[in-house]
Amino acid sequence: MDHAKAFFAEPGEEESKLHRISKAVSWVRTNFDKPLDVERLATLVHMSTSSFHQHFLEN
């Protein structure tokens, strides 16, 4: 999905995935002095580790 479609997606679609990635990035910024654990971040945003990787790289 391109960025424009993601921006205008219906609630519960791609927009929520972008919100999840944004939440993870916010956590990293706030906790930059702590070890980074991808599995923990994925859990924090209610995604599987593989989905988190995929959506983080897409956005």
* The predicted structure's pLDDT at residue 56: 67
What integer pLDDT is reported at residue 28 of this predicted model? 92
The gap from C-alpha 52 to its chain's centroid, in whole angstroms, comes to: 6
**pTM here?**
0.62
The Cα 55–Cα 14 span in angstroms is: 10
Domain coverage including residue 38: 21-59
Name every residue whose Cβ is closer than 8 Å to that of residue 50 and which is 6 or more positions away in sequence.
Answer: none
Tens of pLDDT, residue by residue over 22-51, are: 888 899 999 999 998 899 999 988 889 998
pLDDT of residue 16: 79
Position 14 in a domain: no
Structural domain includes residue 25: yes
- Residue 56 in any domain: the answer is yes
